[in-house]
C-alpha cells in the first residue's frame, strides 16, 4: 500500500524539501496551497508533476475537513504558518489565527475525519525566546518574545492536548533555525547571501541589517525535514528539539558570507533601526541529544558549508545560470 502524506505549506522552504524527501521514499504527496492572485510554485516547480496540489487554508476548517475526506492521508505535516517574526509584530492577530488557531483547526479536522492520521506540528525554538537555560532542550521552560512565538507555543500545546485527549499520534518538532538557497528573502541569512551576491556582481553597494549580535543555531533545511519524517515513524508520538548544538551571531554569518567572495563585511553592512524588533531573542542554541538517541537523527551540514552554499547559489541565480535551487 502506498503511504499518502498531506503537507500544508508545501510552497514554503520546508514544504518543498519535505515533498522531495517523501517522493523519494515512494509516498503519494498531496500539498495544500492557499489561493493567491499569482502562482507561487517556484520552490516546487521541479516536482509539480509528481505532487497533487489542493486548495485550502488554515483559516478555513471546512476546507481542511474536505481535503482530509477526499485524499485520506496517512500522515499530515503542518508546515503552514505566518512564519516571519518581524511581521508578527505588525499583524499579531492574523499571525495568531494562522500560526496558532490554524493548528487547532487542522487537529480538529483530523479528530473528526480520521483520528488514526499521524500528525506533525512545526514548532520552533522561538518558543524558548528569552534565555532561561543554555543549551535549550525539550524540558527548558518557554518564554516567547513575539506574537509569532506566542502563537507557536499555543500550537505546540494544542498538539500535546489533542495527543493526550484523543490519542492522536501527534508529534511536535521544536526546530531551530534552518536555512537553504530556498529560504525567503526576508530572513536574515538569505537577505545576507543575496546581498553578498548582488554586491559581488556590482548590483548593490550596502546592506542594512538590524541586530548583528543575535545568536542563532543555524542548520540546513534539507537535513531537518528528515527529522520530521522520522518523528512520524516512531511507535509513540513525542516532542523533539532539532538543532545543530552550535550557535553563531548574525555578525559571524556576515563575516563568512562576505569572506567567501573576498570581501570585508564591515565595509558594506550598516545597522538600521527599522530591522530591530520590539523584543529580541538574543541567544538560541539547541541540544539535539534526544533526537540523536531516539530518532537516530544527526545534522549533516556545517555552518560554513551552509553559508557558502547559499552565497554560491545566489551568485548563480543572479548571474542567470539556469539551475534547480537545491
Active-site residue, 126 included: yes
SS3 state of residue 16: helix
**Is the bond into 254 cis (omega within 30 degrees of 0)?**
no
Residues 209 and 270 sit within 8 Å (Cβ to Cβ): yes
Contact residue for ligand NDP among 47, 54, 59, 212 (CB under 6 A) = 59
User: Burial, 115: exposed, middle or buried (Cβ in 10 Å; 0-12, 13-18, 19+)?
Assistant: middle
Nearer to ligand NDP among residue 23 and residue 263 (C-beta)? 23
Q: Should residue 79 be labelled a site residue for ligand NDP when binding is judged by CB under 6 A?
A: yes
φ/ψ of 286, rounded to 5, equals: -100, 150
Residues 217 and 176 sit within 8 Å (Cβ to Cβ): yes
Q: Should residue 178 be labelled a site residue for ligand NDP when binding is judged by CB under 6 A?
A: yes
| Closest approach of ligand NDP to the CB of residue 46, in Å | 16
Q: Which does 15 bind (CB under 5 to 8 A by kind): ligand NDP, ligand GDR, none?
A: ligand NDP
Active-site residue, 280 included: no
Strands 28-33 and 51-55 turn out to be parallel
Q: Which of 8, 11, 99, 124 is catalytic?
A: 124
**Could you tell me the maximum CA-CA distance found in the chain, to the nearest angstrom?**
58
User: What does each C-alpha distance from 201 to 197, 316, 320 come to in angstroms?
Assistant: 6, 11, 11
The pattern of x and - marking residues 7 through 46 that bind ligand NDP according to CB under 6 A reads -xx-xxxxx------------------x-x---x------
| Closest approach of ligand GDR to the CB of residue 249, in Å | 9
Strands 239-242 and 207-209 turn out to be unpaired
Q: Which does 209 bind (CB under 5 to 8 A by kind): ligand NDP, ligand GDR, none?
A: ligand GDR
Nearer to ligand GDR among residue 73 and residue 244 (C-beta)? 244
Which string of DSSP letters, residue by residue, matches 148-201? HHHHHHHHHHHHHHHHHHH---EEEEEEPPEE-TTS-TTSHHHHHHHHHHHHHT
| Closest approach of ligand GDR to the CB of residue 267, in Å | 18
Chain residues 214-233 in contact with ligand GDR, contact rule CB under 6 A: 214, 216
Residue least distant from ligand NDP (Cβ): 12
Helices assigned H by DSSP within the chain? 13-24, 61-71, 85-90, 92-95, 102-113, 147-166, 188-200, 221-233, 250-260, 289-290, 303-318
Stretch that binds ligand GDR, among 82-90, 286-294, 296-304, 308-316 (CB under 6 A): 82-90
Residues near ligand NDP (CB under 6 A): 8-9, 11-15, 34, 36, 40, 57-59, 79-83, 98, 122, 124, 175, 177-178, 184
Residues near ligand GDR (CB under 6 A): 83, 85-86, 124-126, 176-177, 186-189, 191, 209-211, 214, 216, 250, 275, 277, 280-281
What residues are annotated to the active site? 124, 126, 148
Amino acid at each position: 500500500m502506498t503511504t499518502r502524506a498531506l503537507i500544508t505549506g508545501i510552497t514554503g522552504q520546508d514544504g518543498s524539501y519535505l515533498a522531495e524527501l517523501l517522493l523519494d521514499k515512494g509516498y503519494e504527496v498531496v500539498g495544500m496551497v492557499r489561493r493567491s492572485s499569482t502562482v507561487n510554485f517556484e520552490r516546487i516547480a521541479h516536482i509539480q508533476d509528481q505532487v497533487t496540489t489542493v486548495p485550502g487554508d488554515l483559516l478555513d476548517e471546512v476546507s481542511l475537513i474536505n481535503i482530509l475526506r477526499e485524499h485520506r492521508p496517512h500522515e499530515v505535516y503542518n508546515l503552514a504558518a505566518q512564519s516571519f517574526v518581524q511581521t508578527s509584530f505588525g499583524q499579531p492577530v492574523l499571525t495568531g489565527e494562522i500560526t496558532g488557531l490554524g493548528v487547532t483547526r487542522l487537529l480538529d479536522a483530523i479528530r473528526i475525519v480520521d483520528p488514526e492520521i499521524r500528525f506533525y506540528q512545526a514548532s520552533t525554538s522561538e518558543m524558548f525566546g528569552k534565555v532561561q537555560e543554555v543549551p535549550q532542550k525539550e524540558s527548558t521552560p518557554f518564554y516567547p518574545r513575539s506574537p509569532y512565538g506566542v502563537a507557536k507555543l499555543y500550537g505546540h500545546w494544542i498538539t500535546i492536548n489533542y495527543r493526550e485527549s484523543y490519542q492522536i499520534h501527534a508529534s511536535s518538532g521544536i526546530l531551530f533555525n534552518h536555512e537553504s538557497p530556498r529560504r525567503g528573502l526576508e530572513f536574515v541569512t538569505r537577505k545576507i547571501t543575496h546581498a553578498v551576491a548582488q554586491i559581488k556582481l556590482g548590483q548593490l553597494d550596502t546592506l542594512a541589517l538590524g541586530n548583528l549580535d543575535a545568536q542563532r543555531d543555524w542548520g540546513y533545511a534539507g537535513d531537518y525535514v528528515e527529522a520530521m519524517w522520522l518523528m512520524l515513524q516512531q511507535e509513540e508520538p513525542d516532542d523533539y528539539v532539532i538543532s545543530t548544538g552550535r550557535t553563531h551571531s548574525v555578525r559571524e554569518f556576515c563575516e563568512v558570507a562576505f569572506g567567501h567572495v573576498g570581501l570585508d563585511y564591515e565595509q558594506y553592512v550598516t545597522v538600521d533601526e527599522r530591522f530591530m524588533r520590539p523584543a529580541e531573542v538574543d541567544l538560541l542554541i539547541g541540544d539535539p541529544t534526544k533526537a540523536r538517541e531516539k530518532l537516530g537523527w544527526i545534522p549533516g551540514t556545517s555552518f560554513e558549508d551552509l553559508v557558502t552554499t547559499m552565497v554560491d547559489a545566489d551568485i548563480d541565480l543572479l548571474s542567470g545560470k539556469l539551475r534547480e535551487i537545491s
